[in-house]
Amino acid sequence: MSAGNKVEVETLKLPFSNRQQAGKELAARLSHHRGSDSLILAIPRGGVVVAAAVASELDIPLDVIVARKLGAPGHPEFAIGAVACWGDHDIILDDNTVRNLHISQEYIKSESDAQLAEVGRRIKAYRGTAEPPDAAGKHIILIDDGIATGHTIMAAAMALRSLDASSVTLAAPVAPAESLRAIKRYVDELICLETPDPFIAVGRWYVDFEQTSDEEVISILNKFRSNQR
């Protein structure tokens, strides 16, 4: 996979009303892929709702790739890195945070093992199998509902290298510019609709940011599978 060399940022009026609206806005920026031999891979859970809107607008197949952040000791919501399904299960780590918090290698292994177990559970629940989709030679559009640190996106992009995809576009409605700078070397193209400053959190930029359930993810994926038969 080549290093990222194209970044596109659009300025829209925020916040987004919901994930569906954000997906439609993204679809407009991805219109050159309409009806192509591309494959959309969404990061659950909320990313699947955004990606479903894109897939519907562009008539592109939809599937998922699961990535999980690694939480700091005693503060699981604070990301120190991430892991993803497939590939060699390489770990993305924020080396500065690991060093500053004096996090041990033993903790990192324990946390990564735990998150990989959850990755395995989710990918089987969502897809019915842990085997990856056929992405060889295809252009992958990787979609999430927003990016904070970017660790899960980087882990997912690294995992995609093992699937022999021809190229990868990352598309997200909102992200901090600093995270995009870190991510762009992992993908071939990066499209983000808004980079607010201060960023605060992904949910800050949606009116409706209700949590997406596993059941909703499975229902969306089943609907697309039925339509693709």
> Do the domain assignments include residue 89?
yes
- In this structure, the answer to whether residues 204 and 188 fall within a common structural domain is yes
- pLDDT tens digits, one per residue of 195-207: 999 999 999 999 9
pLDDT of residue 3: 45
pLDDT band for position 37 (50/70/90)? confident
pLDDT of residue 2: 44
- In this structure, the answer to whether residues 16 and 79 fall within a common structural domain is no
Tokens of 35: 């009806």
- Domain residue limits at 95: 69-124
> Do the domain assignments include residue 2?
no
Cα separation, 46 vs 224, in Å, equals 16
Q: Which residue has the tokens 């990989």?
A: 116
Q: How many domains does the chain have?
A: 2
- In this structure, the answer to whether residues 61 and 84 fall within a common structural domain is no
pTM: 0.89
> Does the pLDDT of residue 4 top 60, yes or no?
no
- pLDDT tens digits, one per residue of 71-130: 999 999 899 999 999 877 778 999 999 999 999 999 999 999 999 999 999 999 999 988
For residue 104, count other CB atoms closer than 10 A to its CB. 11
Cα separation, 76 vs 211, in Å, equals 18
Give the torsion sign (CA, 114, 120, 123, 124): negative
Among 100, 124, 148, identify where a domain stops: 124
- In this structure, the answer to whether residues 180 and 113 fall within a common structural domain is no
Give, as one character, the DSSP assignment of residue 137: T
